[in-house]
Amino acid sequence: MPGENLTRDEAHERAGLIRVDGYEVELDLRSAVRLDEPAFRSVTTVRFGCARPGESTFVDLIAPSVETVTLNGRELDPAEVFDGARITLDDLAATNELTVEARCAYSRTGEGLHRFADPEDGEVYLYTQYEPADSRRVFANFEQPDLKAPFTLTVTAPATWTVLGNGEQEGAAEPVGTDAATWRFVTTEPMSTYITAVVAGPYHVERDEYTREFADGTRLRVPLGALCRRSLAKHFDADDIFTVTRQGLDFFHDHFDYPYPWGKYDQAFVPEYNIGAMENPGLVTFREEFVFRGKVTRSSYESRANVILHEMAHMWFGDLVTPKWWDDLWLKESFADFMGAFSQVEATRFTGGWITFANRRKAWAYRADQLPSTHPVTADIHDLQDAKLNFDGITYAKGASVLKQLVAYVGRDAFLEGSRRYFKRHAFGNTRLEDLLSVLAETSGRDMAAWSRAWLQTAGVNSLTPEAVYDDAHGRIAELAVLQGASEDHPTLRPHRVAIGLYRRGASGALERYARAEADVAGERTVITELAGAERPELILLNDEDLTYCKVRFDETSLDTLRDHLGDLADPMARALVWSALWNLTRDGLLPAREYLGMLLRFAGRESDIGVLQMLHSWAHVALDHYAAPDWRAEGARLVAEGALRELRAAEPGSGHQLAWARFFASVAGSAQDLRLLSGLLDGGSVVDGLDVDQELRWAFLEPLVAEGVAGEAEVAAELARDDTASGKRHQVRCLAARPSAEVKAAAWHDVVETDTLSNALVEATIAGFAQPGQRELLAPYAPRYFEAIADVWASRSIEIGMAVVRGLFPEFQAHPGTLDAADAWLAGHADAPAALRRLVAEGRDDLARALRAQECDAQAGA
């Protein structure tokens, strides 16, 4: 659509011309309950100043129709000024008032105002999701982060609903007729358009309160709310959510010295959400999968707590102080990712949060930083499509890792004092990189410009490798050096504050650290003088304690030790770092997939950290499905399934480890014997002591049976009858698309690629069922069709659905040079395609090339 993809240059020009004084937004949502009604009434009044009277600008609005446009009392013809994405405004005055009345569309893609009808009880639920630029689907506005303004919201909706906005409700809802009411909300502090929010529907609501007394005698009261759909209320553990919320607010008040500035704090768990959560001030929205319908491991509760704290950190980093443009997205996301783990470890029961960060979050960063689309933490974002794709592992996890390195570099106190000054200096404003660096230079006395150039303004990940020379006569280290490497494409060598641990087995057989040094590593080779003379180690672990961001390599002695004794490594953080390093070796084609899987089968059963264990299970799938040599893949799958079943039977009954192994076993089961066991666990003919086969686990057991052709449509229908809910519907769609039939695959392809009738959640479920690793031959015909279809999909769908289709249907299971050639041909023939689309195809192509290199490494190991 013309004008839909706002550019950075356009935003900069507009920001230099106008100043926004305030918005009044009126939404009439009474039509939402009529599912055949596609639109709702939206009326926006915006008051703004113009630095150069007589100039022109535009407001953003994506809507089926505009009814009226009034500028400074002048009626404008919508047919002349509205192009579907922008309303042109000419001959501006020094001060202006614009009113736009429009019919805006309810969404089924999770963008704008999403409408969901609960299949369990027929109730309708609404919520908004705007980042980076979808508030223009709900009301007319200047859709860029540096044009902040106060917002006054009014909503008319069915009288029985709960309606929430960013601000607190102003008085009681006013009746409108017999079955509707109007809610008015207090005017907010200045905020960016993308973090305004509305939640409306018959939500189940629980209430609590947070209070805080400060040293100066002032007292802060924050009303707390937690919401979910009514049909999920029986599963809703709001007490735990409130506990983490209060702990987080205490932590951030202790460390930020800036009281929570947004009044109330509601947290809504909403259906068919595209992301984990969104930091709307006073009204945070989460995906409702964080309301656990069945038994989950401690890792799931830890993950939820981390997300709660991540979004809470945004109330300061991102909402109070906001990046001027999406180039500096890291100024909010990197900080929130870091603060999520930081506060979780220090303020909640999840004291192992840094282990999860080292093992899981940084794996996301390492992958993203080796793709052709890698970019500096401070990125170069030309337009909104670029911005959408920049919510990636670099911006989140690498940025957070760099901040952890920054804390080691400047010190914790200087870092936190810099944050406090940053909030006070820029409250309710917008910033760039240099604004943060200036306060950190003040508080630390360090050269932040040089640090920024190395860590924030260059791309790529360094590798650190130990090089040890021994005094054989005395069994001691003569010299230990750290070698730093970088890729040819991104050759920057960075300064690292890094810990080096020396490990050996003690009398108990445990592999324990007996010596440690912390040093600044720079350049190609750094000698660690502090460890000269130390007794000869069995394992040298670089980046012990995970202070920096790097790929860790091992010397041969250390790798031999790990092959035999990884399970003896006593410290859980050290084990997590070792597993991560081994996985990076496997991804890089330096460690055969079969050797990695062999170590996993020998030692994963001894892993105490449930989050690390579940990450190992995830990596095992990639190793089997993509990195194992094709002629060994079946044998590898058999060995992994046997190992998974062995660990399932050995796990403590009723434990999280048992549940994790049960899910993993189901996902790798393939033999007739394995499938009979799954069938027996479903019908009660088989039992694993202590394993509760609840509804979510039933779906996990049914999908492989369907994918292998052991169960079919009738069994899926019967399971849906047991679980006729929104979650059950998604599972049903996924299972049906997983059936091993050419007709089924054709229907799934049609539903996702050739029509636009499915909601975002059902698109995701259909793609997940369609792309089965054990159905490579069935999927082969869709590789050429993929490259023929994606340009049209990108042009005709919303960016959220376009991303899901282009990523999810990339022919990743057709790992042969012909697929690489097809991807290269598409990229060469579509040089003028949108940059975001080319990025997604290039990333899929790179993953496929990496898989082929890893398969070659694995094949050589088996030769």
Active site residues: 311
> Which among 555, 583, 578 is positioned nearest to 565, based on CA atoms?
578
Within 8 A by CB and 6+ apart from 67, the residues are 78, 101, 102, 103
3-state secondary structure of 537: coil
β-bridge pairing 219-228 and 265-270: parallel
Q: What is the strand order of the sheet 539-542 is part of?
A: 511-521, 496-505, 539-542
What Å distances lie between residue 192 and 63, 149, 713, CA to CA?
20, 7, 48
Provide the sign of the torsion angle of the four alpha carbons 558, 564, 568, 572, taken in this order: positive
How many Å apart are CA 648 and CA 667, to the nearest integer?
13
State phi, psi for 587 to the nearest 5 degrees: -60, -35
Tally helices (H) and strands (E) across the chain: 29, 28
Query: Could you tell me the two tokens for 378?
Result: 């401070």
Side by side, the strands of the sheet bearing 151-158 are 74-76, 65-71, 95-105, 39-50, 18-28, 151-158, 180-184, 174-176
Q: How far apart are CA 861 and CA 352, in angstroms?
A: 36
Report CA-CA distances (Å) from 318 to 5, 559, 616: 22, 43, 33
Q: How far apart are CA 678 and CA 266, in angstroms?
A: 41
Residue 690 burial (CB count, 10 A): 12
d(CA 293, CA 233): 10
Instruction: Give the largest Cα separation in the chain, rounded.
Output: 94
Phi, psi at residue 497, to the nearest 5°? Answer: -90, 115
360-399 burial by CB neighbour count: b if 16+ within 10 A, else e? bbbbbbbbbbbbebbbbbbbebbbbbbbbbbebbbbbbbb
